[in-house]
Copies of this chain bind each other. A is one copy, B any other.
Amino acid sequence: MIDVRNPEDGFAALRARIDALGEPVGGDRGEAGEPLTVGEWALLIEDIVEKPDDATGGIYNVATPEEDDREYDAIFVGGGAGGRFGAAYLRARGGRQLIVDAWPFLGGSCPHQACVPHHLFSECARELDLARHMQGRLWYPEFDESKASILGIVELFKKGRSLPHAVMNWQSKQQLDLEFILNAPATVIDEHTVEVEGRQFRARNLVLGTGARTAYPDISGIEQNGVFDFASLIEDLDYEPTSCVIIGGSKVALEYGSFFQATGCQTTILTRSPLLRTASLHHIDEDMRTYVIDMMVDRGIVIHEGVEPLEVLGDGRATGVRYRGSDGETVEIETDFVFVGTGERPNLKLYDALGLETDDRGFVVADSTMKTSSPSVRAIGDLLGSPMEMFKARKCGMAAARNIMGEHYEYDYSEYPDFFHTTYEVTWCGLTEAEARERYPNVIKLQMPPDDSDPESFPLPAAEGSMLYAFTRPILSGWFKLVIDADSRRILGAHHVGFGAKDAFQYIDYLIRRPEGWTIDDMAELSELFLNPEHFIQLSRLRAGKQQLVNL
């Protein structure tokens, strides 16, 4: 146990380990007795992750009773997205908090195995797609598939992931003044008590935020080498896959499948439900779905929907997958790389002492204040099920903190903007065209390419990130639709495939969900930054003059 609230001893002990590890990135070295810099944290985290058995023990950034003898308002079990944000909010409100995490960093799986690598891999997928499509044009050489290595990209991520981790630790200590214990698993004793390395901490409330992990389907051979999920891909991959079979049709399946295919690793997706028609994804516009899947197939991905995976073949190492096709026939497909993308479930073993109520899928049941069946225990983030997204985890954490600090605050996450990557960014919010037509008699849309155009000759939408596609093969440049109730003129939904529009959807979602709504006339008042990837503003203005709105 190293107490970094005591800079003389704590940081000196850590620095002794860090100094042996080499120079921090950019020479980012701190003074003796001062807190660790981002560069120093990164060296330390990397070393602990690589050599977990080297006994550093818990890294305690915990106020001693002389500094702060108030009871903890909350102990956050898990310092990922929800725990860290919840703790920061509670601390900012003047409460006392403690985060305990088994990993040597705050931020959780996102920067270690989930969102951050996904973004790096999806950026590689986009760049590989461009390199392949543009080969022989302009400065792009012939694309050398043998150089596009999944293993190499995973290794780049692993080599660099300690820096984002380090930022979270640095920020949590220096900027947010949080109390935390890292690199030490928590044992939950009861609804007020957590034990870490034999020391007990008591709090008015526990906030549980330890996330979820891939739920493997119960089929023979799935435990072999050569079968990966998004987390083990990063920790365990040690060879270059030559082909890939994906079991499942989740966002993760689409995202990683698109990445594998872009590297030249022939990818086949086996999914029970049709792609993008799973319960965990809502508001998928049918035209958007068509464009997304067409473009995946255009890139060579093979998709089998309505199939039943039966077995991963192999003798200790995966050599293929046997599945029942949609026609009932049994098929075997060879592969040296199986990727499981069937969704995630929480591991609740840590909470056995609490006897929490769960739903039929194994998620913790909590009310809109995050309260579980145990009144002083709140659960946040992926423990609660879909949507397993950062905004939900963080806002759950915030909601828990507000309630614990005495404010009644309810958080409803049933509606939200959403996105995933293929080689494109796919983003949407609000109603699909079909959903809108069910609820409103007079729905119009602004869409590009329009239904009555030939997308092979229609180079719009185009903007940041899609210009090279637009000028070489227009159909590749993207697709979008804005759905409008022509009677109230309110915007009901927005759907986009392309690049550079994602961040805008955070705001569009906010605006169209206001109780008073947001109309095409409101949107037309904005000042577009042209070429704007989502093109919505100018198209709204081009139609807003009309009393009787019609399609564009």
Residues of A whose CB lies within 8 Å of any CB of B are 24-28, 37-39, 42, 81, 85, 88-93, 110, 115-116, 119-120, 122-124, 127-128, 130-131, 137-139, 141, 144, 147-149, 152-153, 156-157, 159-160, 163-164, 166-167, 170-171, 174-176, 263, 389-392, 394-395, 398, 401, 413, 416-419, 425, 427, 450, 452-460, 462-465, 467-468, 470-472, 474-475, 499-511, 524-534, 537-538, 541-546, 551-552
Q: Are A543 and B92 in contact (CB under 8 A)?
A: yes
Residues from chain B with a CB closer than 8 A to the CB of A26 are 454-457, 474-475
Kindly list chain B residues whose C-beta atoms are within 8 Å of the C-beta of A450.
175
Q: Are B149 and A139 in contact (CB under 8 A)?
A: yes
| CB pair B131 A156 closer than 8 Å | no
A470 — which chain B residues lie within 8 A by C-beta?
A: 160, 163-164
Name the B residues within 8 Å of A545 (CB-CB): 88-93, 398, 401
Least CB distance from A528 to B in Å reads 5
Whole-angstrom distance between the Cβ of A95 and the nearest chain B Cβ: 9
Q: 9 closest Cβ contacts across the A-B interface? A: A26-B456, A92-B545, A507-B507, A390-B530, A503-B504, A28-B457, A160-B471, A89-B545, A391-B527
Count of chain copies: 2
Given B115, B119, B527, which contacts A416 in the complex, CB threshold below 8 Å? Answer: B527
Q: Smallest distance from the beta carbon of A240 to chain B beta carbons, Å? A: 12
With contacts A39-B457, A456-B25, A457-B38 known, is A467 near B119, CB below 8 A? yes
Q: Do residues A28 and B456 form an inter-chain contact, with CB atoms below 8 A?
A: yes
Residue among A452, A502, A538 with the highest chain B CB neighbour number at 10 A: A502
Instruction: Say which residue of B27, B119, B454 sits within 8 Å of A463 (CB atoms).
Output: B119
Given known A454-B38, A527-B391, A530-B110, contact A157–B471 (CB-CB < 8 A): yes
Do A127 and B468 touch (CB < 8 A)? yes
> Given A120-B468, A123-B464, A467-B123: A526 and B506 within 8 A (CB)?
yes
- B85 near A457: Cβ-Cβ < 8 Å: no
Residues of B with C-beta under 8 A to A525: 510
CA distance A290 to B138 in the complex (A): 32
User: In the bound complex, how far is the Cα of B416 from the Cα of A184, in angstroms?
Assistant: 51
Closest Cβ of chain B to A183, distance in Å, is: 21
Chain B residue at minimal CB-CB distance from A163: B459
Q: Please report the C-alpha to C-alpha distance between residue A467 and residue B534 in the assembled complex, in whole angstroms.
A: 22
A315 to chain B: closest CB distance in Å? 33
Partner of A167 from B25, B38, B110, B459 at Cβ < 8 Å: B459
Chain B residues with CB under 8 Å of A532's CB are 502-503, 506
Q: How far is the CA of A138 from the CA of B543 in the complex (A)?
A: 47
Q: Is the CB of B506 within 8 A of A537?
A: yes
Q: Chain A interface secondary structure, helix, strand, loop or mixed? A: helix
- Using known A-B contacts A123-B468, A127-B130, A500-B502, determine if residue A152 contacts B138 with beta carbons closer than 8 Å: yes
Could you write out 14 A-B pairs with CB less than 8 Å apart? Answer: A81-B530, A93-B545, A124-B138, A138-B147, A141-B147, A164-B460, A166-B457, A391-B526, A391-B528, A398-B524, A500-B500, A500-B502, A503-B534, A507-B511
Q: Which residue of chain B is the closest to A121 with respect to CB atoms? A: B467
Residues of B within 8 Å of A119, CB to CB, are 462-464, 467, 531
Complex: chain B residue closest to A532, CB-CB: B503
**Is A454's CB under 8 angstroms from B530's CB?**
no
The interface residues of chain B lying within 8 Å CB-to-CB of A472 are 156, 160
Q: Which residue of B lies closest to A402 (CB)?
A: B545
Selected from B392, B454, B500, B543, the residue in CB contact (under 8 A) with A28 is: B454
Closest to A510 in B: B526
7 extra interchain contacts, Cβ-Cβ under 8 A, other than A28-B454, A81-B530?
Answer: A88-B542, A119-B467, A394-B538, A398-B541, A413-B527, A504-B504, A506-B526
Among candidates B394, B471, B533, residue contacting A502 with C-beta atoms closer than 8 Å: B533
Nearest chain B CB to A344 CB, angstrom units: 16
CB-nearest residue of chain B to A152: B138
A89 adjacent to B541 (CB under 8 Å): yes
List residues of chain B with CB within 8 A of the CB of A468.
120, 123-124, 127
Cβ of A462: which chain B residues have Cβ within 8 Å of it? Answer: 116, 119, 164
Min CB distance A464 to B, Å, is 6
A149 close to B138 (CB less than 8 A): yes
| Cα distance, A190 to B389, chains bound together (Å) | 62
